[in-house]
């Protein structure tokens, strides 16, 4: 009886150690973005006149990365990742389009575009480069949709992690009416591409 009790105590202690090790591993990998000149978020699409692009280098986010033991900075997982982009920080080459885009995106009511990762699968890579299959919730104009996207990550020499990705969306999926300007002479298309580069640092 005492022997069985001792065995269960040992098993319990081993489980606690494994859990604590995992938590410590991820706790060491909390990173933030928004302080690098390389940070960039772009929204682009088409119109009856020409293609258009709006971009911003001012957004914020946080991620929790997991690494293999041994201190070699081998990325093994992403426990969490978020970003927040103020809509009116997006700027294009035409102020008229910017203003109408803000109205279409309902920036007065919903000031931010946000993303929250729900799952990630890190694929093996060489030279500090990784392809990550991600799933997450993207919120635009108060509407949240789940998107699946391939994100490419590079573990830099200074320990920072550069993530890049893009996804094709339809504005109407987020109850956004494609904006117009020049008294309706120019109409934007429904399809847009949201692309980003973000550098996460500890």
pLDDT of residue 111: 96
Strands 112-123, 75-86: pairing kind: antiparallel
Q: CB-based contacts of 15: which residues, under 8 Å, 6+ apart?
A: none
pLDDT of residue 13: 46
SS3 assignment, position 77: strand
pLDDT of residue 1: 54
pLDDT one digit per residue (tens) for the chain, 202 residues: 555 545 444 444 444 444 444 443 443 568 999 888 889 999 998 877 778 899 998 889 999 999 888 767 788 999 999 999 999 999 987 777 788 889 989 999 999 999 999 999 999 777 779 999 999 999 999 999 999 999 999 999 888 999 999 999 999 999 998 876 555 556 788 899 999 999 999 8
pLDDT of residue 126: 75
Question: Rounded distance, CA 86 to CA 112, Å?
Answer: 4
Question: Rounded distance, CA 185 to CA 196, Å?
Answer: 30
pLDDT of residue 71: 65
What domains, with CATH codes, occur in the chain? 30-200 (2.40.128.110)
Q: pTM of the predicted model, to two decimals?
A: 0.80
């Amino acid at each position: 009886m005492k022997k069985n009790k001792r065995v269960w105590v040992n098993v319990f202690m081993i489980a606690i150690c494994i859990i604590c090790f995992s938590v410590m591993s991820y706790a060491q990998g909390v990173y933030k973005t928004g302080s690098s000149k390389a940070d960039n978020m772009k929204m682009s699409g088409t119109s009856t006149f020409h293609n258009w692009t709006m971009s911003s280098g001012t957004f914020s986010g946080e991620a929790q990365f997991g690494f293999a033991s041994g201190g070699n900075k081998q990325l093994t997982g992403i426990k969490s990742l978020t970003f927040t982009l103020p809509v009116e920080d997006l700027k294009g080459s035409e102020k008229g389009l910017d203003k109408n885009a803000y109205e279409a995106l309902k920036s007065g009511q919903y000031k931010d575009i946000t993303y929250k990762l729900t799952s990630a699968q890190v694929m093996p890579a060489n030279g500090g480069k990784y392809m990550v299959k991600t799933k997450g919730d993207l919120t635009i104009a108060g509407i949240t949709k789940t998107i699946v996207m391939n994100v490419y990550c590079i573990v830099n020499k200074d320990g920072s992690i550069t993530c890049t990705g893009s996804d094709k969306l339809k504005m109407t999926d987020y109850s956004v009416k494609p904006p117009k300007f020049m008294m309706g002479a120019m109409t934007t298309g429904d399809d847009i591409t949201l692309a980003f580069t973000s550098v996460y640092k500890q």
